[in-house]
Structure 1
């Protein structure tokens, strides 16, 4: 039955009562005053009923606007009455009389036992109702209902009726579900990232934080005050934290700081804190809401990386090689300090960012390009080539080029290590020259022996004399090689001249040498000995010592920082058309040796003779 039907029934009952009273009054006394009184009373009742009807209309509108459905249960009659909005909420036809069985049948089967238990408890024990359940409507839709009811008692304490409301809270439940899911996702995200939230009321000093901070700090019972938090901050980091807080509270800017937290077990954890400052209407900071992130592992990794980098830099700094990092586009991005020194680069910025190949001469550029291409292909290569320093000093380099792989396996950069092998190359060149000289010396030695043999044979009257003279000359020649091979720290220039010319000592009337005492370094002595040997060999084969009557004079002297050696050969007047030696290995060797000495040589071919003047520094 609807509220309107109840109202109409009530009005009818009142009218019946008025009629009975009117009959009673008419029968008792025909008094118009009494009838007037009754009419006035009826008028008042009608006014009250009209106010009641209007109130019920307002209640109905309020229920519909708020999606609130009302119901009553009469304990005396067992009657259940629903408002029209309740009938609409449950999808029941208007005018149908609801029952407890009909109501329970509309509830979702999974929720029905619990709802029935609450209803029975309320009816039996007269307790209030407050429960939430699902309503399964005939169209299959599900609505969440919040059911709240209260028992009303008469003056004698007996239950009269249960008055309640049903509120459709489907949207609220959905919002709560979403909020729960989002909160759980946020909690999982914070936990996965080792983060924790907190809220600080600046005025009261109250700090609220989630349980993840307990795991970070190792504190089971956080005091909930700023002092409790402050006690956890490492003493060495408190000035930095205080400065960040003062800045945030003074400017209302974001709060951000890294610091260490001391745990009760003595261990220390690093945290990175970020917070927003919340201000009141006057712009005064009243709260800080932030997140703490546990960055201990990253700090450990950062320190390990720093130590590794410092170790690497010390290794690179100790290496005498030129170590370079080259970007994938071929430009130079790094060079160690020793590398800059050996390359005579005063300021690395002068070459940083330049293509590495541009630092090499044109003759070496193809080697460099091939090495870079090989590295970009993921392979290591090596080459040797000349490249002058930034100051122009000639250098020769042994270069290895290797790829540096990134985390995804791609070529990130290229590392090149260049070793100065200039001395080794010079030594190798010198060795090749000495090997060639050794071969040439052997050939010259054989020629010298042959020339000595012929000269000795011409001057010997019998085999015994030849044997003595020839053996002596061979011994003198051996002593010359012994002197050269010894390579003592210093050697007398006069001893070198004598050693080279001693095999021809029997021709004392043909030989003349003199000069001041000059000591030569071992390297200079070897070169001068070779030059003297070549001149003496040529003289024995083609010049003054190859013909009767020829003369050879050798003189030496100092001229400032230079040493001047003069070699002069003269032929006998009877010698006609003496052959002039061509540009053979001997002449080439002499020229090379002179260049190594940083000296000069002048040859003057004159009639029946040769003059050679050699100038070189004594170092």
Structure 2
């Protein structure tokens, strides 16, 4: 635009030169007229005139318009000689259109009436071509002042006319472009006079009166229209262009008379004279406010999409409100929740420009316009001036109280009821453009989409966390098997279960299959083939063993898998694995214990049956037999209690002694000591029954039958060749002891059952000082469980 202005200025200078040329031409015409008047067309005078005016064509005619004088310059211009044109009508030199229009007669009439007639027109040459001539037509007078003809003085100015026409067309096109754009303004600053000539658009951008700008104002009048924050920078750029005599280009803000801030891009050039001083500074400005606002909106959208820019702790909706307010340069942006009656709106979140008091609490909707709620039901209410819009006019006082004079309200509705209002307020009346409304919708759509995505992400993260914690708590691992590539992705727990290193690449054939126990490989592969088959794709659930590793044995793994389809065909298998080795062992132990329990119950029942038969058969009376049988069952039960505590594997001998004799203790009259020795279950039961019989006999007939007697129990282990047990029951202080005439069931239980269960010798000595019972047995002997009932059942 600056170059165009320069061309216009140059053309204007050329026009001034042509004007001066016309003045010279007019002077020549006057001289010729005066000469003709004084000499009455004297030949000598005309010869002198023709010789002195060689640069101009001179054509004289009589009153009828026939040529009476034709100089050489006329021949050069028109291509006819004087002999050819003398006596011919001067009208032959005019174009047919001018002849038809009577231009020849009109010029003569004007010259006769006014003393001269301007003659600037297209004329004909001898070859039929045309040229543009600038000239004058003056009347020729005789000595008495009578008119005797006319003199035409002209010059060929075809090139100048073509340049003028092109310049006019260029100026017309430029003006059309300026009018069409409505964004471009031009200036021309004459520096020596400090006068700036500017068009209306340029003046409007700087807040300058248009009429004064056209008449010319000093540069200072325009500098005041530059935004205060940009003024120093622009002044420095102007000064640099003036010093160097070069181009000027800058983007800055201007302030119009109504306070509206516009962004412009100014370009110009400073011209220097021969002395290097600036003389002229033309240029043009383009209003780029729309582009700047668009850039700001795009930057805001990018910023909105930068999810980490505000941190995880910041509410994304408030972030969107912040960006809306700053980008649109408005006073307030917020959202409020509407109560079920649609009467009040409670402020939930808000952003405000500096200096504006934030809204809070509940606001009655009707206070801001009796029909505002109805307008909001349309989804969006756009108000340029709350004092004039029908929806808010009767609530203008409430709007002014909060410092808002224009607004956009968007409503979220559910089931036909207002739920949330998003509001954007400005402190002064404002025309909301379609671009701004589109930007608002875009921000809200992105905010809503992002918030929904973040909620889904959080839900997914929480679900994954719960699943991970559940897997960790249940010690479950997982793998993902790609059926196309054979690759597998295993989590750390799965690698641990299968014994795969953390950095080891995993494939089904090269890594997973070799870690399956050879006896289970075919079964696992068959289950996978069935789950991924085209006819019946689905899931599988199986238990298999891993191959024994260097130091660890085989593990038992429970795998539960599901095939995943892609384009209707199985593509992957997702599987959860769990180490069930301990569970499997516990299951086997449980089965073993169940079998053992069944076996022991049978033995116990057999033992009870034998005790009952032998006790009742030898009892003097049923009452006596029942009492003896009950006591023996109690002793048997004590032994069972101890064995149950040790899972029927073994029992400490001291616990058997203490538990069995607990009911026979009498002021410390029974004492025992010995090392910690563990007996088998059968040995424990036999010793408990034997101790019960010994204690019962001692209470009836032996050391415990009076107050002075006592019992001492001692056991020890001899480690000579093999570990052997010596257990001794010794009574003392009681009445004299004598051997029984016949042995009852209790004696037989002591001698035979103990010997059988311990695999050793049992000796009962009836020493008069007190009974002594001794057991000597190999500790490693573990008789079969069915020996005791068989022995007890012997007659």
By the TM > 0.5 criterion, same fold? no
Query: TM-score, normalized by length of structure 2?
Result: 0.36
The normalised TM-score by structure 1 is 0.45
Larger Rg: 2
